[in-house]
Amino acid sequence: MEWPFFLILTFVFIFVYIQSINMNASLRVPGRLILFTVLMILHITLHWLGVGLKKWSQVAVYLVIQGTLAFTIVYMGNNIGPLMGVYMGLIGETIGLLREKSRWLVAAVAGLLGLSFLNYLLLEGRGEWYWWLLATLPMTFFVAVYVILYSRQAEARQQAQLLLKDLETANRQLTEYAARVEDLTIANERQRMARELHDTLSQGLAGLILQLEAADAHLVGNRPERVRAILQQSMEKARGTLTEARQAIDDLRQPGELDFVDAILRESERFTNATGIPCEPHIDVKVDLPEQVADASIRAISESLTNIARHAQAKNVNLRVTTSNDLKEMEIEIVDDGIGFDLPSVERGHYGLLGMRERVRLVGGSVDVFSEPGRGTQIVIRFPLENPTHD
């Protein structure tokens, strides 16, 4: 962003060039006019080319050449007018080039002021040297302050542009990360849906197929009464599978649609209406749960009640949801008095239990299952609670 400074400097030099020719008739002689014009063009061109100088050796050579040109231009102009314009412009550029090297900056500015003073003595003599001092020092101070402030502003603008680019890059990366998270979320949701539907549609339809095959075998054997009984069982099985499929689809709703307590009451009520098994929940939750924990809790309770309805042959179910005294943990306990099962053999192939464990684990919880054949089943689910909000 140095071009505005050099554009202003160029107009100053053009003004100096025109003023020098108007005030010095000797410069209008063709030979001197050509030489003066060439020196001015070279001086202006070097100013524009000096922007990209970085090495100290290049800057030193550049200042020597520009100082020589400035001295010659002012001397040929034979007028005090161009002195300020030519030297102040060069001093301003020197401050911009060497502002980070204070020792060299002081030496370079002192050298340029020395050339300026020498030009003044050659033009005006020694008698009025103090006029040079009164005019040059304040002007030098003004140019120095202007260049320093301008340079700092330019650097701040450049840093702001770099920061903006960094922010754009970070925003682009965040967008990419969000897309990846969304893809992973969709993939996890598909896996969860597969687990939800496996124990309903897949197993239900498999059972219906076996029953229909048995009915077909009895038809071949001319046993209509047996066929009728199997068809009755098949219809009951189909109705049960349809009910469970609707429940699984209903559970795909966003968890935030229902209050946590209301959602548990709804699950227990639906379980009792579908099975006739009493299920009175005891809920004592004194914190506002994170959405992920509430969702995982409701789905785990739903899965547990579904398993009891399908496999346990229970007469009673107890459901307890409580938080610890320090409000750092929530515990869900589901107990039935059904037939129980052999835990190791069932867990290896039961996608419902596996899906429940995985869902709870994703939000930092744990699932413990206790069961023996003939002695019912107890499921204990625990969720850690961080920074809970009191009611």
The CATH code of the domain that includes 374 is 3.30.565.10
Residue 368: which pLDDT band, with cuts at 50, 70 and 90? very high
Asked if the structure places residue 235 within a domain, the reply is no
Residue 1: which pLDDT band, with cuts at 50, 70 and 90? very low
Q: Is the pLDDT of residue 231 over 60?
A: yes
Q: Tokens 């897949």 identify what position? A: 202
Q: Give the highest mean pLDDT range of 89-103, 296-310, 318-332, 343-357.
A: 318-332
- What does the pLDDT average to over 362-388? 87
Identify whether the C-beta of residue 285 lies closer than 8 Å to the C-beta of residue 309: no
Q: Looking at the 3D structure of the chain, how many domains does it have?
A: 2
141: phi then psi, degrees, rounded to nearest 5:
-65, -45
Q: What is the pLDDT of residue 189?
A: 66
Asked if the structure places residue 247 within a domain, the reply is no
Asked if the structure places residue 297 within a domain, the reply is yes
Asked if the structure places residue 381 within a domain, the reply is yes
Q: What is the CA radius of gyration of the chain?
A: 45
- What does the pLDDT average to over 178-184? 74
261-277 pLDDT tens trace: 888 998 888 888 877 88
Q: What is the pLDDT of residue 388?
A: 45
Which of 38-52, 92-106, 339-353, 361-375 has the weakest average pLDDT? 339-353
Q: Which two tokens stand for residue 68?
A: 């020589």
Rounded Cα distance between 351 and 194, Å, is 10
Range of the domain at 50: 3-127
Share of the chain above pLDDT 90, in %: 10
Q: What is the pLDDT of residue 248?
A: 66
Helix ranges (H only) for 99-223 are: 102-124, 129-197, 203-220
Q: What is the pLDDT of residue 391?
A: 45
- What does the pLDDT average to over 246-259? 59
Rounded Cα distance between 226 and 214, Å, is 9
Rounded Cα distance between 66 and 33, Å, is 20
Asked if the structure places residue 172 within a domain, the reply is no
Asked if the structure places residue 355 within a domain, the reply is yes
Which of 114-128, 245-259, 270-284, 336-350 has the weakest average pLDDT? 245-259
Q: Is the pLDDT of residue 242 over 90?
A: no
- What does the pLDDT average to over 164-182? 81
Picking from 91, 110, 127, the residue at the C-terminal end of a domain is: 127
Q: What is the pLDDT of residue 380?
A: 95
3-state secondary structure of 281: strand
- Residues ≥6 apart with Cβ < 8 Å to 203: none
- What does the pLDDT average to over 348-353? 60
Question: What is the per-residue DSSP string for 6-73?
Answer: HHHHHHHHHHHHHHHHHH-GGGGSHHHHHHHHHHHHHHHHHHHHGGG--SHHHHHHHHHHHHHHHHHH
Q: Compute the residue count for the chain.
A: 391
Q: What is the pLDDT of residue 255?
A: 47
The reported pTM is 0.42
- Residues ≥6 apart with Cβ < 8 Å to 244: 199, 200, 204, 306, 310
Q: What is the pLDDT of residue 48?
A: 79
Picking from 101, 127, 153, the residue at the C-terminal end of a domain is: 127
Rounded Cα distance between 317 and 110, Å, is 97
65-91 pLDDT tens trace: 888 888 888 888 777 767 777 888 788
Determine the Cα angle at 284 with ends 278 and 286, to 5°: 155
- What does the pLDDT average to over 339-349? 72
Q: Which two tokens stand for residue 39?
A: 């020196």
Residue 336: which pLDDT band, with cuts at 50, 70 and 90? very high
Asked if the structure places residue 178 within a domain, the reply is no
Between 130 and 37, the higher pLDDT residue: 37
- What does the pLDDT average to over 146-166? 79
Asked if the structure places residue 228 within a domain, the reply is no
- What does the pLDDT average to over 284-289? 86
Q: Is the pLDDT of residue 387 over 70?
A: no
Picking from 100, 127, 154, the residue at the C-terminal end of a domain is: 127
